[in-house]
Structure 1
Amino acid sequence: MNLKNKLAAMAVMSALGTLCLSVDAQTIRVANQGDALSLDPHSLNESLQLSVDLNVYDALTDRNKDLSLAPSLATSWRQTSPTVWRFELRKNVKFHDGTPFTADDVLFSITRAAGDGSDVKAKVNDIKDVRKVNDYAVDIETKGPFPILPDVLSDLAIMSKKWCEENKAEKPVDRRKGIENTASFKANGTGPFRVRERQPNVRTVFVRNGTYWGKIDGNVQEVIFTPIANPATRVAALVSGEIDVMEPVPVQDIARINASPNAQVVVGPELRTIFLGMDQKRDELLYSSVKGKNPFKDKRVRQAFYQAIDINGIQRTVMRGASRPTALMVGPGINGWTAEQDKRLPYDVDAAKKLLSDAGYPNGFEVTMNCPNDRYVNDAQICQAVAANLARIGVKINLAAETKGTYFPKILRRDTSFYLLGWTPTTYDAHNALDALMRCPDDKTGDGQFNLGSYCNPKLDELIGKIKSSTDKNERMAMIKEAFTIHADDIGHLPLHQQSLAWGVSKKVALTQRADNFMPFKWMSIQAPAKP
């Protein structure tokens, strides 16, 4: 073992040792392959960070265990006109520092989320204005009719205006530039848990908020969150009882955990779609052997890549069956998905070679592929398999796999030619994926914020705008279907699969697994041991 690996192993064992010393009957120890990159809930629109941070912060609306919409800091909402929503706010709520929650915090948070450095602009880019009605009511005016606004706001954290101003955290942390502020390391929400300790990439300790306004179903008093990058170390820690919950479970270790006396694997479908994106904007790719032009601007090249990928082979050998190959950028469970459209182009190496040759690349070309190695299930292995597939048609992939801490800032700057990404529509509606991933990017409005390859079709944009404002269900579904057809015909992205959720859970722990892969601590409990 080299010095770097020894130091990493020592850090993990030290963290685990600290866990063991601090554990009591109502402490749950959670491990993930990576850390939340910040405690700033507006700095990165990534599921793990939102999942962690939203144990500390509340939004105006929330999700029940079945993902149905629920009240949170807003007790009710209604439309007062086609473009204005009135949200009645919860009274007698306090931030963790004792400051009362009011309408001023809502106005501040929505403005902050729309501002410079925010990675959650897509959630508020349809908002035209926010007006204070009184201390406990706000009117939110949208740029046009927007019937799913309450759904969109279900994971937009509300921050304390007073605390942010006092701590010079008025703007979000910009992950693209590496700029940090107080909100990166400290948190002051209204949520069911407070942050007691934060050591980035080592551990974060959460404690129950004794003055929480809402109901906490679970009995857990403390949650210790520890990133453990090595899958074997995570599994060993779970099986030995050093941790209580881990995710993701490597698909090859599910049987081992289920055979252990202390733990089991909770498996379920996930709403996240894993896909590949390509730079379709630059006249010359940044990282390619092709000079003077961009092969990804040619649909034939994009289709060649698509048909060269053996998705069933990836499902079988890399994912061990724990994935669902897809032709769409959303999966079952998302409003707008239909089985009729979810049919992939056939895997056909010869057809892919011909397409590449017809496009002027009979011998293929070389391109760098960016990939995380600690964010999605078997992400680096998926990229390795894709690289091997593309080699069969003469495409040489230079694989750049790295930790998400450096990966996300890079691709969010669009400093990439070919990349892997996953997306869960937090509104559980197809418009979210269409607007964030497939719309022409506009940095001013936030449209297409995560369309990192800058795919663009004005006709699709027009449809997305109509889908957003339509209140006729049948008309809306027809437009979603047409939008997906346009995107599929363009080969705008290369959808791969929906991964399955696999959480390793101690048999003494009860929790709720949501299909969006969020992990609310308020639903966790330590169970009494079974009597003999």
Structure 2
Amino acid sequence: MTIRVHALKFTLASLAAAACLSVGAETVRIANQGDALSMDPHSLNESLQLSITQNVYEPLVGRNKDLSLAPALATAWKQTSPTVWRFDLRKNVQFHDGTPFTADDVVFSFARAAGEGSDMRSYMNDVQEVRKIDDHTVEVETKTPFPILPDVLSQVAIMSKKWSETNQATRPVDRRKGVENAASFRANGTGPFRLRERQPNVRTTFSRNGNYWGQIEGNATEVIFTPITNDSTRVAALLSGEVHVMEPIPVQDIARINAHPSTRAVTGPELRTIFLGMDQKRDELLFSSVKGKNPFKDKRVRQAFYQAIDIEGIKRSVMRGASNPTALMVGPGINGFAPELNKRLPYDPEAAKKLLAEAGYPNGFEVTLNCPNDRYVNDGQICETVAANLSRIGVKVNLAAETKGTYFPKVLRRDTSFYMLGWTPSTYDAHNALNALMRCVDDKGAGQFNLGSYCNPKVDELILKIQAETDKAKRDAMIKEAFKLHQDDIGHLPLHQQALAWGVNRKVDLVQLADNYMPFKWITVKK
């Protein structure tokens, strides 16, 4: 019922607005299976949300079309000592409300991103201090040498200090606690597009920023973003011309979209790795039939789960071949990827049963698996298949699949025993995944997305060395060693890298990035 009502609302709205590309050619309509959960750029470290908000807010350091670093709100940067970076800030930049951009906004934004409630703390956990030198110069001092700091800061958006204070939005919207503020629904960035209207889960409208400091290559003057949960409705909207761009394409519909005279599928590899995590910290799982102990603390149980999952079956029947099974938490294209380690343990239900018996669970046990059903490609179906696989070794999985709007706050509170997550290293470097997913959890942002609290002090020691090492060969060797330790521990259950598949009207040109971001400034509608 919910899907039908939602689809009806979308159809009526879109038909009333425009039905074809020839009318209002500079308006671009984009549909996605989910919505951004907030307009606050520090509230959720999730690529769809960041993809949307980075059209409005900007970092000091941006990215080119080939994902190389590019000047954004900083025009230049350099190390003045092993632990200090100096950033020259762009002059004559205004926020959307006309307030000048200065160093005060950078100092404020970095403190906000590092503070309570922020989902971006893992980008700031090794920053010691941010100093204003003058109105257009800041220094960032790190706790140890950090040669990839500019890459890391490419994900930290700059907000207006004045606007945030005036609107009581000095702290991020905390999705874990359900806390909202003005930054949830309004925005005031420096980016190429302004937020004009926000209707959560219905429609978000952006308009071109006429006072933007940089070049906007595309001709879109308005972008209307609409979440359409139902796959069939989303495909129909593209084929009818009601939307110009949609993602993801259900893998079974790629050929149909390519065969249609007015649409095409834009596909490519994605840097995201999909994996399962397990609570390895609590003495008793929150959601399990096992009382008085935590089976996931036993490596044999973790390995049993790993070897019970038929990853090739998932690739074949669920992903229709559009996935790349993996044994690592990062994939090809990420600096530090070690192909020689990318060999999965064999799928072997009988071996898995023996491991469970050795661990003291000859008859298996019950556990709840938390999954989103509107975030990753076929996420709900993947979890259903994992549950069926585990049932063969006596594990009864109680599948709790839900929309990402309720899923992420739940798992980010660590209110879970067994969960699915996807991760794209936003720095395109293995350190990002190591620091956020595999580092022992602290209160500064290390291991912020290590939701099962995996912890190996040897891995932590290597992460700090990797962070400071400038010799590529030595650094890659340490990354490989850290991955091997994590792999041997069965710290997580890696599944696959999914493929990107966007549906695009043939009159629309855009840039598909391997991190699944969609910059509006590079979208053009051909006349």
TM range (shorter): over 0.9
Q: How far apart are 1:445 and its partner, in Å?
A: 1.3
How does the TM-score come out when normalised to structure 1? 0.98
Question: Match of 2:36?
Answer: 36
Alignment of 1:397-416 (within 5 A): 397-416=397-416
The runs of 5 or more residues in structure 2 that have no matched partner are none
Decide whether the 8 Å contact of 2:109 with 2:157 is kept in 1. yes
What is the RMSD computed on CA atoms of the aligned residues? 1.0
Q: How far apart are 1:101 and its partner, in Å?
A: 0.3
Alignment of 1:202-281 (within 5 A): 202-281=202-281
Decide whether the 8 Å contact of 1:117 with 1:174 is kept in 2. yes
Q: How far apart are 1:473 and its partner, in Å?
A: 1.2
Q: How far apart are 1:55 and its partner, in Å?
A: 0.2
Question: Match of 2:163?
Answer: 163
Q: How far apart are 1:475 and its partner, in Å?
A: 1.0
Alignment of 1:29-428 (within 5 A): 29-428=29-428
Alignment of 1:355-504 (within 5 A): 355-442=355-442, 444-504=443-503
In structure 2, how many angstroms separate the alpha carbons of the residues matched to 1:413 and 1:305?
A: 24
Q: How far apart are 1:12 and its partner, in Å?
A: 2.4
Q: Which shows bigger deviation, 100-109 or 469-478?
A: 469-478
Q: How far apart are 1:20 and its partner, in Å?
A: 1.9
Question: Using a 3 Å threshold, how does the CA distance of structure 1 residues 521 and 294 change in structure 2: closer, same or farther?
Answer: same
Q: How far apart are 1:15 and its partner, in Å?
A: 3.4
Match of 1:17 among 15, 18, 24: 15
What is the one-letter code of the residue matched to 2:478?
Answer: M
In structure 2, how many angstroms separate the alpha carbons of the residues matched to 1:247 and 1:471?
A: 38
In structure 1, how many angstroms separate the alpha carbons of the residues matched to 2:438 and 2:7?
A: 41
Q: How far apart are 1:6 and its partner, in Å?
A: 4.1
Decide whether the 8 Å contact of 1:365 with 1:395 is kept in 2. yes
Q: How far apart are 1:19 and its partner, in Å?
A: 3.8
Question: Using a 3 Å threshold, how does the CA distance of structure 1 residues 483 and 13 change in structure 2: closer, same or farther?
Answer: same
Q: How far apart are 1:471 and its partner, in Å?
A: 1.4
In structure 2, how many angstroms separate the alpha carbons of the residues matched to 1:152 and 1:527?
A: 36
Q: How far apart are 1:21 and its partner, in Å?
A: 7.4
Percent identity, aligned pairs only?
74
In structure 1, how many angstroms separate the alpha carbons of the residues matched to 2:464 and 2:295?
A: 29
In structure 2, how many angstroms separate the alpha carbons of the residues matched to 1:288 and 1:183?
A: 38
Decide whether the 8 Å contact of 2:3 with 2:230 is kept in 1. no
Decide whether the 8 Å contact of 2:19 with 2:241 is kept in 1. no
List structure 1 runs of 4+ shifted beyond 4 angstroms. Answer: none
Decide whether the 8 Å contact of 1:19 with 1:29 is kept in 2. no
In structure 2, how many angstroms separate the alpha carbons of the residues matched to 1:6 and 1:526?
A: 30
Count residues in correspondence: 525
In structure 2, how many angstroms separate the alpha carbons of the residues matched to 1:142 and 1:8?
A: 48
Q: Which shows bigger deviation, 17-26 or 7-16?
A: 17-26
Decide whether the 8 Å contact of 2:371 with 2:383 is kept in 1. yes
Structure 2 counterpart SS, 1:324: strand
In structure 2, how many angstroms separate the alpha carbons of the residues matched to 1:292 and 1:507?
A: 59
Decide whether the 8 Å contact of 1:15 with 1:202 is kept in 2. no
In structure 2, how many angstroms separate the alpha carbons of the residues matched to 1:219 and 1:183?
A: 28
In structure 2, how many angstroms separate the alpha carbons of the residues matched to 1:316 and 1:302?
A: 24
In structure 1, how many angstroms separate the alpha carbons of the residues matched to 2:25 and 2:411?
A: 42
In structure 2, how many angstroms separate the alpha carbons of the residues matched to 1:298 and 1:18?
A: 58
The runs of 5 or more residues in structure 1 that have no matched partner are none
What is the one-letter code of the residue matched to 1:76?
Answer: A
Task: Note if 1:505 corresponds to 2:504.
Answer: yes
Question: Using a 3 Å threshold, how does the CA distance of structure 1 residues 18 and 295 change in structure 2: closer, same or farther?
Answer: farther
Structure 2 counterpart SS, 1:375: coil
In structure 2, how many angstroms separate the alpha carbons of the residues matched to 1:16 and 1:411?
A: 34
Q: How far apart are 1:227 and its partner, in Å?
A: 0.3
How does the TM-score come out when normalised to structure 2? 0.99
Structure 1 counterpart SS, 2:339: coil
Deviation string 1:340-378 (CA, Å, 9 cap, x unpaired) is 111100101111111111111111110000000000000
Q: How far apart are 1:8 and its partner, in Å?
A: 2.7
